[in-house]
Chains A and B, each alone.
Chain A
């Protein structure tokens, strides 16, 4: 079980006994049902342990008893903030295992919509991260922008949050009539709004003093722990699956990878903000070159990937979302394993937090951008 040892009194500052503080599972800023057991000396964190599993729904086991096409909606519930990206990793794994050729238009639409989803996810991160540090107004500003994206999702997929976005072999529907107009409108308005958030936060003394030098993790440590996504790039490693193993239509897009220097909370904040700008760039390009044509490949009546195993991963908003799929040739997978980015990123929490204050734990949980639906599966 979870062991946080309490030292005897003489080891601590002011000869006071250490205190164990249970942060969560019901706590306003653990971003879900994460339970962090903190060992405190005064307000300094001496040690911590994470207790997860309060949201375990057995997704991987459920997937063993479902047809391949029926699994995608479950994947939406992993990282419910980025349901579109999660759905994409599942359908692409199955498609690539079967060797299906997905129409190019579907690839482009997937690129646009997953990038919109990345912006939505980063906006929610910005909102909650700023809220954790105490800037409440940014929360509602960011949610206002996210609302625009969710409206596009609602019109395209029929749902806002857990939008069963993709089908194996393509998409359920082609883009709706005003899709291009809506997306372009969002893309045009977005940078102005993003600059507003930057004026509130980036140069703010309090924001700087709360984030600069907090939760530092070196590039070597980040790689050793297996961090991915903005958490890794904030430490200075330019690793992005959209570039290294392009999927969907990313191979044809021109964009930059933002990379931090210090690996602290502030760098990760800047990296995510810049990623939103780059996403906007990608959406603009994809919309410009959006080809005509069908959006669905021809599928067999029952989707049955060949016997064998396959791993495919994409760059989700929070890091590398991977899916390891073992097929026995039947209509149901033999075993599915998800590589959840939040789960892996959460491992860095202890290394980042020890020695900081309680208030910094909240900021660091925020900067890791975890989603418990994905950690617990």
Chain B
């Protein structure tokens, strides 16, 4: 096979140097040192570089996509199609003055951006970008770690808002604390439904579970996916939930007083947090790096190529989710603060709870139906809940029905709410036509 040979040759070119490097390292260190210390460091370096590049080009893509939505061209001057714009931005921001306001709390002001960036980047240590060496640490509580570390990010925002000694920053910090705390709840709750199928908290384990069931959990959990995505957007302070930095009200919210590189760290943290949410959503609901037929590469012996293709699959899936972020931001107006809280507490958290109950009932039903009149629904339980074709159909139907049940229950809960009845509150204007040149004053309605 010509193509097979070509792939082999390419893989050798790609991974030959790495094998040589491994041999060299073996001369200097013991095998354990290399496995537990040297290679993880290289992995970390690679992931940080990859994510930083991804973040930088996410800003570029956002600018381009927003430009196309707004009948503009976006960055065009730096490099072909403005491709070097993120680098130019980085250089500009590094060269700018790092200004600390007079009465700011200097140390907190100084450290807040680092907390933001660190909390966003640490999460990447457990994200499975691909199988085997494309994940730094396959922790068995990966999902809990993601939730825990990403909620440290709110601390940075509060500290930044508080230490700036500016009222706009303070309001932004307060908003962010309330917003992120309340949306974290629904974000965590929405994931439980998927956990019932995966039966593991390890992120790689979830991908394997979806792979062995050969289905994406978005099919079983449409409601859970929606809740997770919405709370993720709110958690990241992205439009239409970008209240902590609402530029039209709070100038720039919590980072009003920041400038130069320190500001850009917040910016990077925001985009990195977006990438985190997109990556987690991809892992939990979209099958992670799993894609049909890609594992044929593994079977034909091209292990490293398989890893790389899987990694690309992961990046593409996550980028599609990022595109949804951009799309929403440049289409929708911004919520008001109280409306945001309404959505969090009156809609998302109840719907996440209802989703848990319905999913639990569904999983119970599947187990109860297994073996009933010879019907087989469960195939295996070793890697997550693997269902047979019948089981899948039943589960998908339950998932779809649960969306409607959730919607119905929520509208029962919220039917009195002002925002729920907006369409009926909406009135039309009337047109008054007066003969040409006659006084047009109507009686004033009291």
- Interface positions of A (Cβ within 8 A of B): 19, 21-22, 27-29, 43, 130-137, 139-141, 144, 200-201, 204-210, 212-213, 218-220, 223, 236-240, 243-244, 246, 251-262, 266-267, 270-271, 274, 357-362
Choose among A237, A246, A359 the residue that contacts B444 (Cβ–Cβ < 8 A).
A237
Q: How far is the CA of A309 from the CA of B259 in the complex (A)?
A: 56
The answer on a CB contact under 8 Å between B429 and A271 is yes
B77 within 8 A of A: no
The answer on a CB contact under 8 Å between B432 and A252 is no
Shortest 8 CB-CB contacts between residues of A and residues of B: A134-B334, A243-B440, A140-B70, A256-B431, A135-B333, A29-B248, A238-B432, A251-B437
The answer on a CB contact under 8 Å between A220 and B444 is yes
Q: How far is the CA of A339 from the CA of B65 in the complex (A)?
A: 45
Q: How far is the CA of A130 from the CA of B434 in the complex (A)?
A: 31
List residues of B (327-342) whose CB comes within 8 Å of A's CBs.
330-339
The answer on a CB contact under 8 Å between B440 and A238 is yes
Q: How far is the CA of A266 from the CA of B167 in the complex (A)?
A: 30
The answer on a CB contact under 8 Å between A133 and B438 is no
Across-interface contacts of B442 in A (CB, < 8 A):
237-238, 259
A-B contact pairs, 28 of them (CB 8 A): A28-B247, A133-B333, A133-B334, A134-B334, A135-B332, A135-B334, A140-B70, A140-B71, A140-B72, A141-B71, A144-B71, A204-B332, A204-B333, A209-B339, A209-B419, A212-B426, A218-B446, A220-B445, A239-B441, A240-B440, A243-B439, A257-B440, A259-B431, A261-B429, A358-B171, A358-B249, A359-B243, A361-B249
Q: How far is the CA of A133 from the CA of B333 in the complex (A)?
A: 6
B240 within 8 A of A: yes
Across-interface contacts of B69 in A (CB, < 8 A):
137
What residue in chain B is nearest A356 (Cβ atoms)? B336
Q: How far is the CA of A219 from the CA of B333 in the complex (A)?
A: 28
The answer on a CB contact under 8 Å between A134 and B332 is yes
List residues of B (50-94) whose CB comes within 8 Å of A's CBs.
66, 69-72
Across-interface contacts of B338 in A (CB, < 8 A):
357
State how many angstroms separate the Cβ of A145 from the closest Cβ of chain B: 10
The answer on a CB contact under 8 Å between A260 and B429 is yes
Q: Would you give the 0/1 interface string for B326-360, flagging 1 where the beta carbon is closer than 8 Å to chain A?
A: 00001111111111000000000000000000000
The answer on a CB contact under 8 Å between A206 and B332 is yes
State how many angstroms separate the Cβ of B246 from the closest Cβ of chain A: 7
State how many angstroms separate the Cβ of A87 from the closest Cβ of chain B: 23
B27 within 8 A of A: no
B423 within 8 A of A: yes
State how many angstroms separate the Cβ of A67 from the closest Cβ of chain B: 33
What residue in chain B is nearest A261 (Cβ atoms)? B427
Across-interface contacts of B239 in A (CB, < 8 A):
134
- Interface positions of B (Cβ within 8 A of A): 66, 69-72, 167-168, 171, 239-240, 242-243, 246-251, 330-339, 418-419, 422-423, 425-434, 436-442, 444-446
The answer on a CB contact under 8 Å between A208 and B422 is yes
Q: In the complex, which of the residues B171, B336, B338 has the most CB atoms of chain A within 10 Å of its own CB atom?
A: B336
What residue in chain A is nearest B67 (Cβ atoms)? A140
Across-interface contacts of A133 in B (CB, < 8 A):
248, 333-334
Given contacts A21-B167, A243-B434, A257-B432, contact A206 B335 (CB under 8 A): yes
State how many angstroms separate the Cβ of A139 from the closest Cβ of chain B: 8
The answer on a CB contact under 8 Å between B434 and A270 is no
The answer on a CB contact under 8 Å between A208 and B246 is no
Choose among A22, A206, A213, A239 the residue that contacts B333 (Cβ–Cβ < 8 A).
A206
State how many angstroms separate the Cβ of A319 from the closest Cβ of chain B: 15
The answer on a CB contact under 8 Å between B425 and A239 is no
Choose among A137, A238, A252, A270 the residue that contacts B330 (Cβ–Cβ < 8 A).
A137
Across-interface contacts of A201 in B (CB, < 8 A):
333
Q: How far is the CA of A160 from the CA of B21 in the complex (A)?
A: 66
Q: How far is the CA of A208 from the CA of B418 in the complex (A)?
A: 11
What residue in chain A is nearest B240 (Cβ atoms)? A206
Q: How far is the CA of A255 from the CA of B335 in the complex (A)?
A: 36
New A-B pairs, 16, CB < 8 Å, besides A43-B171, A140-B72: A21-B167, A28-B251, A133-B333, A134-B239, A137-B69, A137-B330, A139-B70, A208-B425, A209-B422, A237-B444, A237-B445, A238-B440, A257-B433, A259-B442, A358-B250, A362-B249
Q: How far is the CA of A267 from the CA of B418 in the complex (A)?
A: 17
Choose among A132, A137, A223, A357 the residue that contacts B248 (Cβ–Cβ < 8 A).
A132
